A and B are shown apart, each in its own frame.
Chain A
Amino acid sequence: MDVLLNDDERAVAESAREFLEGECPPSLVRAMEKDPLGYPPELWKKVAELGWQGMCLPEQVGGSDMPLVYLGLVLREAGRALAPLPLHSTAVASLTIARDGSDAQKHQYLPAVVEGKSVLTWAFTEKDPRYIPDAIHMSARADGNDFVLDGTKLFVDNFEAASHCLVVARTGSDKGEKGITLFIVDTKANGIGHTPLVTLAKDRQSEVTFKGVRIPKANVIGPVGEGWPVVRAMVDRGTALICAQMIGATRKDIEMAFEYAKFREAFGQPIGAFQSVQHMCADMQIWADGGELLTFEALWKMDQGLPASVEVSQAKAFCNEKCEAAVRNSQTIHGGIGFMMEFDLHLWFRRVSSWTMRLGTSFEHRARIAHALIDMPGEVILGRPVPAVAEEEAAPTAKSRAVSEATA
């Protein structure tokens, strides 16, 4: 048990921070808000040379096969710098191909990712934004050697930039987990259209329509009709990784408030000397710390091959509310200047806010946690796995003994 970063982890995080501080000033973030692709391809190549895209991909495709916590640290730093790079969507898709794709798929798609020649994305959400099987209606009808995709996806990241998109669709049944299948789709395939959305983060998101799009059967990831566990794992990884990004961005945002409070004077002293401001700042720090600990525990559990769905939901539900509250406080401490277009703070505020609304609302994540806590058998003990499993795992307590004696 040592929840602090070890030397290797610290080195990766520090070098990522240093690199982005040099390469990714707020002026670049602003420029990319107006750019149709949303990212500078030359920076994408540079980070590939640093090994970021291939960090957690297998060595057989040129990756470094490192644990997810390292990618989490890089995304934390990318979030801190608001790096306008399609790291998250590419990671979600490429990790899924690496873990659940066939060898042929890995060799076909991943080397280009590792080399920084390809951007990937993924499409789950349709009209109903919840991350549950029943929200998927897009149909994939078998026809000869192909599946034919029809339907509409929303909130798809970086579609214009991406070469391929993982698409969740139904090959059978129109409800529940059964019938869900995951496809690799060429974004330039016939029958695909996309419309940009105008978003709070000023990032690149699209509505993507599929009309009779033919996808070869070889492009199915995982089993046909039984793809829900693959999809669930993909969404969980994506959720944990966006938490890391949120934490990084939140840290930078609140640090700006701490610094501002040290020199901005009112009533003859720095506003940071007022306890009302100090206590806001203390809370902001505590919330960011809590979110970070929850996030990295989730990523670490995934690395160990342990069930981590509850931990992922803990992290996202917490970050959704506490990162938002932290950056809101930061706006408050800055006062009017924080809302000025020319002042940089809003770059962080708008993105953190936006990320709280992606990959599962607080309500959804808490519903998952409640299901694991309440609907599964066994006594729940904090610090032990949820749902509770073996009976002998239960610790004897003064109370449980008193109860058993009373009933004996």
Chain B
Amino acid sequence: MDFAYTPEQEALRREVRQFIKENVTPDVVEELDPHAGAHRPRGQTPKTAALYKKIYDRGWLGIAYPKEYGGQGGDRISQYIVEEEFTRAGVPVNLGGSGAPAILAAGTEDQKKYYIPRLIKREVSFCLGFTEPHAGADLANLRCSAVRDGDHFVINGQKMYTTGAHASTHIYLMARTNRDVPKHEGISIFLIPMDTPGITVRPLWTIQNDPIAPPDTTYGASRTNETFFDDVRVHESCLLGEENKGWRVGSMGLNLDRVGASRYLISVRRDEDIVNWVKNNSFNGHAPGKDPAVRDKIAELWIEAQVCRLMTMRSMSIVERGGNFTYEGSAEKVWAPEHGVRVTEAITQMLGPYATLLNGSPHAIESGVFAHNVMGSFQSGINHGSVQVMRDQVARRGLGLPSARRSKKAEGK
């Protein structure tokens, strides 16, 4: 049992902080958030490419990834430290949700050699093509079809909530390749360049887009989309894993996405914000930080945030030991997002009407981040597997409780 970082890891953290002070400027932050800027171009901009090259040259990208695929062959905790510092600074360097974990686990040698180094350097970026109008939590219901035509597939269908699809270079697409088998057994995953003919991206504006949420808002200024596939022809080498085995590959990717610095930080940043705000602020002499009820609530939330941190540390420890989660990643994905909602809502009751003020409003506190977070925080309990689905997994995989009886329709028969 060891709750501390090694001296080498602490030194790494100091180095990263120094680097951030010297190299990460607000103009580059604005350009590099893959979800920020509703109209930003696809791929990297000259400024963001230069920054990532510098970070890569320091050996800080893909630390825990194998050297043969462009990583550093280092430890997961060091990678976590780098991710935590850069995420706090508004520079995404995490590879959870990037597609890299799934490609590493299920990709061909060619796919690994091509994608992993580029994902690490952030030259390639994937948006996730999972959800459809009729397939959300019950994702295996998806209808988007990929029909084999010789050594090609022809894809037709519609994907929803393809966040960042307008700015990503590739899509990680889940499609149906066999209609005549139970629904989980006819799904495949494809890695497809977004400039392939027949792909159309249309914005889906969220309640965060007007006005644009301030930096650090939980699921803030992201632009999400709907993405259409009209007779999109791709070569079979785009398949990730075997044809019709996509359900398993997809779950691998999702599981690895559930842990790490960014998932943890999006749930706890408001805790830090409110503590640091009440330390230094009052309304015309009335200091919420002196109110015993407010103090009690702040401490309660702080403890919950520590549990978010410790659950992340537990997941990191499991990964670092080379183990697999049974339920721990899912547990974290229940606790942290729900905490994020609780802390956000509690803060609104500490700040009252000030917490209604959005970005740009007179009298807005911290650029309106708390009002924006009311709209954003609950999203993390919904996307990448809702907290209800996560609880099912904790109960069934973790505790061995039996599956509920399913209707014939749910079985896809």
Contact = CB atoms under 8 A, between A and B. Distances in A.
Sorting the interface of chain B by its residue count into under 10, 10 to 19, 20 to 34 or 35 or more gives: 35 or more
Sorting the interface of chain A by its residue count into under 10, 10 to 19, 20 to 34 or 35 or more gives: 35 or more
Interface in B374-413: 388, 390-392, 394-396, 398-405
B68 interface: no
Contacts of B154: none
A396 to B, nearest CB: 5
B17 A297 contact: no
B151 interface: no
Interface stretch (A43-51, A132-140, A399-407): A399-407
B295 A374 contact: yes
Nearest to B392: A278
Given A275-B392, A297-B310, A314-B303, A370 B317 contact: no
Given A3-B317, A282-B398, A296-B1, A383 B303 contact: no
A373 B391 CA distance: 32
Contacts, number: 207
Q: Which of A262, A269, A283 has the most CB of B within 10 A?
A: A283
B335 A278 contact: no
Interface in A214-265: 258, 261-262
A366 B310 contact: no
Contacts of B2: 1-3, 300
B86 to A, nearest CB: 10
Interface string A356-368: 0000001101111
B89 interface: yes
A294 B401 contact: no
A27 interface: no
A273 B401 contact: yes
Interface stretch (B52-60, B102-110, B133-141, B270-278): B270-278
B215 interface: yes
A382 interface: yes
A261 B395 CA distance: 11
Nearest to A369: B299
Q: Which of A9, A269, A289, A314 has the most CB of B within 10 A?
A: A289
A183 interface: no
B283 interface: no
Interface in A302-350: 304, 314, 317-318
Contact of A278 (B4, B26, B316, B401): B401
A366 B295 contact: yes
A5 interface: yes
Interface string B326-366: 01100100110000000000000000000000000000001
Contacts of B334: 282-283, 286
Interface in A269-287: 269-270, 272-275, 277-279, 281-283, 285-286
Given A281-B399, A282-B394, A318 B303 contact: yes
A275 to B, nearest CB: 6
A398 interface: yes
Contact of A4 (B9, B303, B317): B317
Q: Which of B309, B313, B388 has the most CB of A within 10 A?
A: B313
Contact of B394 (A262, A285, A300, A379): A285
A6 B320 CA distance: 13
Contact of A382 (B278, B305, B316): B305
A347 B181 CA distance: 51
A213 interface: no
A273 B404 contact: yes
Contact of A282 (B275, B320, B399): B399
Q: Chain B's interface: helix, strand, loop or mixed, by majority?
A: helix
Given A2-B321, A273-B401, A314-B303, A398 B298 contact: no
Contacts of A405: 26
A370 B298 CA distance: 7
A98 interface: no
Given A273-B404, A278-B396, A379-B276, A4 B90 contact: no
A285 B275 contact: no
B296 A396 contact: no
A290 interface: yes
A260 to B, nearest CB: 11
Contacts of A367: 292, 295-296, 299
A5 B314 CA distance: 11
A1 B4 contact: yes
A283 B391 contact: yes
Contacts of B320: 1-2
A405 B369 CA distance: 18
Contacts of B305: 382
B205 interface: no
B325 interface: no
B240 interface: no
B399 A369 contact: no
21 contacts: A3-B2, A4-B314, A6-B1, A258-B400, A269-B404, A273-B401, A275-B388, A275-B404, A278-B391, A300-B1, A300-B2, A314-B306, A366-B299, A367-B295, A369-B299, A373-B298, A373-B299, A396-B17, A396-B20, A396-B21, A399-B367
Nearest 3 Cβ contacts at the A-B interface: A398-B90, A278-B395, A366-B299
Given A262-B402, A363-B296, 9 more contacts: A4-B314, A278-B391, A279-B391, A281-B395, A293-B307, A300-B3, A367-B295, A373-B275, A399-B369
